[in-house]
Amino acid sequence: MDSNYISDVYRSLRVEKITKRRGYISWDEYFMGVALLSAQRSKDPNTQVGACIVNRDKKIVGVGYNGFPTGCSDEELPWNREGSFLNTKYPYICHAELNAILNSISRDLKGATIYVALFPCNECAKAIIQSGIKEVVYLSDKYKDSDAVKASKIMFEQAGVALRKMETQRHSLTIHFDETTI
């Protein structure tokens, strides 16, 4: 048998190499997408915020959204934004960041990253710092002029927590619950 014949046979048996799919989402888009999806669980009629905590290995270790503490009635406690303090949601609501930390499957969040739609308030900043999270990735800083957010930024800077506004070319992700699209 001639060596050219063998080479031709091998060449003919080679399968065309398939390359990876294009257009898949980035890690940032994936984790922020999980945060935004979890926000859809919030019963707050005005503000829905979600958070997703990711460890150094890019594994999700905590997810949370804004809502009342477990066991407190979503029907009886107020959802008001204005009025006397006890007749508003503010003394009762747990923010997404705190819930993500408390819901975490790991007590070791050192070096983790938290993805959250809104820049964290000062109370959440304290919890983020105390938990050992070292990076905050956020979509919106619309309350940047508030004292609570200014205090957050001061604490984050002093504690060495990195802050990053998420930039993406995508404006949306679509989820289909139709089995024919899988």
| 97 carries an active-site annotation | yes
CB 48 within 8 A of CB 96: no
- Residues 169 and 40: their CA atoms lie apart, in Å, by 22
- Residues 61 and 119: their CA atoms lie apart, in Å, by 20
List, as own/partner pairs, every contact residues 56-59 make where C-beta atoms lie below 8 angstroms and the sequence separation is at least 24, other chains included: 56/111, 56/112, 58/27
Q: Which of 76, 97, 123, 179 is catalytic?
A: 97
Length of the chain: 182
What's the chain's Rg over C-alpha atoms? 23
**How many CB atoms lie under 10 A from the CB of residue 73?**
8
- Residues 41 and 162: their CA atoms lie apart, in Å, by 28
- Residues 49 and 41: their CA atoms lie apart, in Å, by 9
Residues known to be catalytic: 97
